[in-house]
Amino acid sequence: MIRDLSSRLTGEQRRYLRGLAHDLNPVVLVGQRGISDNLIENVEAALLAHELIKVKVHGGDEIAAVAQTLRERTGAQIAQHIGHILVLYKPHPEDPEIKLPT
């Protein structure tokens, strides 16, 4: 299901982003209370600063719903989902640093 959420990225682009994200630590934690407006603001700020971030989700049963909500509310793309970790990508609107393969 989560793979469908990242349909705008090609397989090659997802592989490239996964490689870049390998050594990253989660910068946002989604706790038991789920997604709040403040959490969305934190995700957006992290994406603006880094373009590629990891998000750790506490409740594994709800990870697909969390991924979809984050994608819809931030405009980010899901590059990867492993266990409780999501990798989100959103290029900087003015000066993107990550150049995706075409």
10 within a domain of the structure (yes/no): yes
Q: What is the pLDDT of residue 80?
A: 95
96 within a domain of the structure (yes/no): no
How many structural domains does the chain have?
1
Q: Is the pTM of this model over 0.85?
A: yes
Residues 6+ apart with CB under 8 A from 78: 2, 5, 6, 67, 71, 86, 87, 88
Q: What is the pLDDT of residue 4?
A: 43
95 within a domain of the structure (yes/no): no
101 within a domain of the structure (yes/no): no
Q: What is the pLDDT of residue 6?
A: 42
Helix boundaries (H) for 51-82: 63-74
Mean pLDDT for each consecutive 10-residue tract of the chain (102 residues)?
A: 56 96 96 91 97 90 89 96 94 94 88
Q: What is the pLDDT of residue 60?
A: 62
Residue 54 structural domain: 2-89
Pair of tokens at residue 7 = 């349909």
Q: What is the pLDDT of residue 26?
A: 96
Q: What is the pLDDT of residue 2?
A: 42
20 within a domain of the structure (yes/no): yes
97 within a domain of the structure (yes/no): no
44 within a domain of the structure (yes/no): yes
**CATH code, 31:** 3.30.110.60
Q: What is the pLDDT of residue 8?
A: 84
